Every structure is written in C-alpha cells, then in structure tokens.
C-alpha cells in the first residue's frame, strides 16, 4: 500500500543554479586546490632555478615569470582560498595563472631550437587547468581557449608548415581531449553530489507529510530573520491549531485526516507567501513567523487567515475552523519562550470557544 507521505508530498524540484553550484564545487575542491597550487608554485621555482643553469635567451624575463609572477599568483590563490568572500578574485587568478604561464612559455621559447624541451609545460598546463585547478568546465575551457589561441598564433607566425610542429599539435590535442573528458565526467559527478546534498538538506528541514518547514528549520529561520529583520518595528508569530480534528480521523479515517492537513498547509502557504515562514509543529499544530509585523498587524493577519480557513471547503470533510494564538517577540526572548507564550494564547482561544484569534502581550 502506498504511504500517505508519498501520496501527497511531491518530490521537491531544486533550482539547478549554476552560480551556486560553481561556488559549492570550488569550495568542496579547496583541499585539493591548495595542495596543487602550492606544489605548482614550488615546481615553478625549481623550473626558474634550472633555467639559470642553462644559457638561455631572455634570462631576466624567465626569472620574472617563473620565479616571481607565476609562483606569486599561485601563492595568492592559496591565500585567497581561505577567504570565501574572495572566491571571485581567486577564480579570476585561477584562469589568469595558467594562461599567463602558457603565453610566457610561447614568448620565451617559440622559434628557438630548444622549444621541444619547454613545450611539455603547455601540455601539462592544459591538463592541470581542466582537472586540477578546481575550475568548473566552462571556466577551464575559457582559460584553455585563451592559452591555445596564443599557441596557434605563435606557431603560425613561426612556420605553420613545419612538420615538427605537427607532433606539438598532436600532444596539445591529446591534452585537450584528456582534459575535456575528465573535466566533464568530474563535473557531472560533482553536480549529482551537489543535487543529492541539496535534497538531503531539504528533506532534513521539512515535514514529510505537508512539505512545510519542521520545528528545527523554523528555529533556524527565526534566528536568521531576527538578525536580518532589523525590524525594530516588530516581529510576531502565530500558533494555529485545527479545531476538533480528532473527529475527522475517527469519522473518516487517517488518510482523509492527512489530506485535510495537506490542504490546510497549502492554504497557509498561499496566504503567507512571502510575508514570512510557515512550519508544522507536529499533529495539527502550525506556526507562522511574521518578521516585520507588530502585534496589531499580526492580529489583523490572523483574523484574515481565520476567516479564509472557515470559508474553505475541505475535501470529504467540508468546513473546518482553526484557533490562533498571536504573540510579539520581546527583546532577548528565546524562541522557546516565544512559542510557549503563543501556545498559551492559542489555548486561551480554544478555551473561549475555538474559531477565534487570541493575542498575548
Ligand atoms: N491524520 C492525522 N492525524 C493526526 C496527525 N497528527 C496528529 N493527528 C491527530 O490529531 C488529533 C488531535 O486531536 P486533539 O489534540 O485531541 O485535538 P482536537 O480533536 O483537534 O480538538 P481541539 O484541538 O481541542 O479543538 C489526534 O486524533 C491525532 O491522532 C497526522 O499526521 N495525521
């Protein structure tokens, strides 16, 4: 038999936001990235040192590129990786560093008889950019295209028909193919992990039957909105309880009872929309957070909600009503105390005959 939960609760669809995925992907690859940039910086220092042992043209420029500019860019990436607020700058450097390394290589070596000794740096650079830089595919592709445009222009200027260059092109092509394939496969894996993680986080925050936030998530949203609200004007909450819900179960059964809870939740969601947050506190008790609402405004909203509920035709059971307790947040009050006060107001509403709004100062 299908469970009530799976019957009513549609699987959430997550916005596959590229920006957020890229941020998450870069963040989760930081440990690898830190090792890579650190060792690559060391490698360049060694590279620069070895070049000083050989009689090569552009000796000063070689030192400048291989001992100063590239290692410093890499170490800056390493440093920035500890500050999430600088991720954009770090990504820019992650694109800039390999491109500048390739362009420097071409500037220093193309046309010289020893070019073949230096060209492996370009092949490795392409693979590094695609697979180790932590860049998502589109950024890595952009960086490699910039590097390759330089390679092709330089190669063309220095003898496009030189058959020895065909080998060079072959290795570039191979590096691109290996890099593209690995990067795409890796990105697919990361994306699926990301979506799984979003789904997990979502299902840990919602009530399984109604899809409303659960108590823990509501507490989190309360703290979050309280900090954001800068709402010195007021912050109020509503506690709602469906009146005489037990007879619904007794008379029509639990499945119908569940359907009423789902329909009731949808109504609350529609009415609250962007004004605040709605959660289920268990059973037929619900809570609404209204940041920016004074007690008076919250009372008016609760009254509007009470009327809407009493005018709604619930499937199978017809008309149902709800009682509502309203409370305004007092400075430095804990969520638990606020909830207790709103609960008290709710039970006063019940005691006074149900289908009514009761507030408490
Ligand atoms: N179908 C269904 N019933 C639930 C669920 N959670 C709690 N209930 C039922 O909700 C009913 C709550 O009943 P009571 O707390 O006695 O209150 P009431 O009958 O609504 O009366 P008042 O609140 O005093 O107006 C109980 O019968 C619970 O079994 C649920 O997830 N699904």
Predicted TM-score of the model (pTM):
0.68
Strands 322-328 and 318-319: what pairing?
unpaired
Shared domain for 126 and 98, answered yes or no, is yes
SS (H, E, C) 261-287: HHHHHHHHHHHHCCCCEEEEEECCEEE
pLDDT tens digit string along 39-93?
A: 999 999 999 999 999 988 999 999 999 999 999 999 999 999 999 889 899 999 9
CA–CA separation, 268 vs 287, rounded Å? 10
Q: Does residue 51 have an active-site annotation? A: no
**DSSP string of 128-147, one letter each residue:** IIIIIS---HHHHHHHHHHH
Q: Provide the CATH number for the domain around residue 238.
A: 3.30.70.270
Q: Decide: 240 in ligand 1 pocket, CB within 6 A.
A: no
**CA nearest ligand 1 atom 18, residue:** 244
Residue 229's pLDDT band, with cuts at 50, 70 and 90, is low
Shared domain for 155 and 296, answered yes or no, is no
Give the sign of the dihedral formed by CA 90, CA 44, CA 136, CA 92. positive
Shared domain for 157 and 220, answered yes or no, is no
Exposure on the CB side of residue 213, measured as CA atoms within 13 A: 17
Domain that holds residue 138: 18-201
Number of domains in the chain: 2
Residues 6+ apart with CB under 8 A from 151: 102, 106, 122, 172
Q: Decide: 257 in ligand 1 pocket, CB within 6 A.
A: yes
Q: Decide: 350 in ligand 1 pocket, CB within 6 A.
A: yes
Res. 234: pLDDT tops 70: yes
Give domain status of residue 190, yes or no.
yes
CA–CA separation, 104 vs 44, rounded Å? 12
Spacing of C-alpha 127 from chain mean position: 27
Give domain status of residue 337, yes or no.
yes
Give domain status of residue 235, yes or no.
yes
Please identify, by atom number, the ligand 1 atom nearest to the C-alpha of residue 247: 19
Res. 170: pLDDT tops 80: yes
**CA nearest ligand 1 atom 26, residue:** 246
Question: CA nearest 118: which of 60, 64, 57?
Answer: 57
Please identify, by atom number, the ligand 1 atom nearest to the C-alpha of residue 323: 25
Query: Among 22, 51, 187, 284, which one carries the catalytic annotation?
Result: 284
Shared domain for 79 and 108, answered yes or no, is yes
**CA nearest ligand 1 atom 31, residue:** 283
pLDDT tens digit string along 91-127?
A: 999 999 999 999 999 999 887 888 888 999 999 999 9
Q: Decide: 51 in ligand 1 pocket, CB within 6 A.
A: no
Please identify, by atom number, the ligand 1 atom nearest to the C-alpha of residue 354: 25
Residue 282's pLDDT band, with cuts at 50, 70 and 90, is confident
């Amino acid at each position: 038999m299908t469970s009530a939960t799976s019957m009513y609760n549609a699987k959430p669809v997550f916005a596959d936001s590229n920006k957020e995925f890229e941020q998450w992907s870069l963040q989760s690859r930081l440990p690898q990235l830190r090792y890579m940039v650190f060792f690559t910086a060391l490698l360049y220092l060694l590279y620069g040192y070895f070049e000083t042992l050989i009689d090569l043209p552009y000796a000063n420029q070689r030192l400048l590129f291989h001992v100063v500019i590239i290692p410093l860019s890499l170490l800056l990436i390493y440093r920035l990786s500890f500050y999430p607020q600088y991720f954009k700058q770090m990504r820019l450097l992650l694109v800039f560093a390999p491109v500048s390394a390739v362009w420097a290589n071409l500037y220093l070596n193309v046309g010289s008889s020893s070019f073949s000794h230096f060209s492996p740096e370009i092949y490795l650079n392409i693979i590094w950019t695609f697979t180790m830089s932590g860049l998502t595919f589109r950024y890595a592709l952009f960086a490699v295209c910039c590097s390759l445009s330089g390679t092709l222009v330089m190669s063309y200027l220095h003898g496009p028909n030189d058959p020895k260059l065909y080998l060079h092109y072959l290795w570039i092509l191979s590096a691109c193919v290996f890099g593209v394939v690995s990067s795409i496969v890796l990105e697919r894996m990361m994306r699926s992990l990301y979506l799984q993680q979003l789904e997990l986080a979502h299902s840990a925050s919602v009530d399984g039957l109604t899809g409303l936030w659960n108590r823990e998530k509501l507490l989190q949203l309360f703290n979050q909105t309280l900090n954001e609200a800068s709402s010195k004007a007021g912050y109020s909450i509503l506690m709602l309880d469906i009146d005489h819900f037990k007879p619904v179960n007794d008379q029509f059964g639990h499945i119908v009872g569940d359907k009423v809870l789902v329909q009731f939740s949808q109504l609350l969601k529609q009415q609250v929309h962007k004004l605040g947050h709605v959660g289920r506190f268990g059973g037929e008790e619900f809570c609404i957070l209204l940041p920016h609402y004074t007690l008076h405004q919250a009372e008016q909203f609760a009254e509007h909600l009470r009327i809407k509920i009493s005018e709604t035709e619930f499937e199978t059971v017809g008309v149902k009503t709800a009682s509502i307790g309203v409370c305004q947040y007092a400075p430095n009050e804990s969520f638990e105390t606020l909830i207790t006060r709103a609960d008290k107001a709710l039970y006063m509403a019940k005691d006074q005959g149900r289908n009514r709004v009761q507030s408490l100062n």
